[in-house]
């Protein structure tokens, strides 16, 4: 049996950051992914806005959710 995943297991995806992630940027690159595919970048509070804007400018952001709401099929 796998133990439940807690927020402490999530590390921010920003380069060089090792802080605990509290948010998940769900994204999809329509050039290479199917429409239902959801990739995930994790963000600490300090990097949330940067990662959100980075994906939004490129029209790849699907959703910005708390890590507790990451869909089971995302990845």
Rounded to two decimals, the pTM is: 0.82
Average pLDDT, the chain: 89
- Any idea which of 4-13, 20-29, 38-47 has the lowest mean pLDDT? 4-13
Q: Any alpha helices (H) in 1-75, and if so which ranges? A: 48-57
Which residue ranges make up each domain of the chain?
Answer: 7-69
Can you give the pLDDT at residue 48?
A: 97
Cα first-last separation, the chain:
21
CA nearest neighbour of 74 among 41, 46, 50, 45: 41
Can you give the pLDDT at residue 7?
A: 46
pLDDT band per the 50, 70, 90 thresholds, residue 9: confident
Provide the token pair at 44: 């600490």
């Amino acid at each position: 049996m796998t133990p439940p995943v807690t927020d402490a297991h999530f590390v921010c995806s920003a380069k060089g950051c090792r802080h605990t992630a509290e948010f998940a940027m769900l994204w999809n690159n329509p050039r290479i992914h199917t429409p239902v595919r959801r990739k995930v970048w994790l963000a600490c509070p300090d990097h949330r806005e940067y990662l959100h804007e980075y994906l939004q400018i490129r029209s790849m952001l699907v959703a910005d959710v708390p890590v507790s709401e990451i869909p089971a099929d995302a990845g």
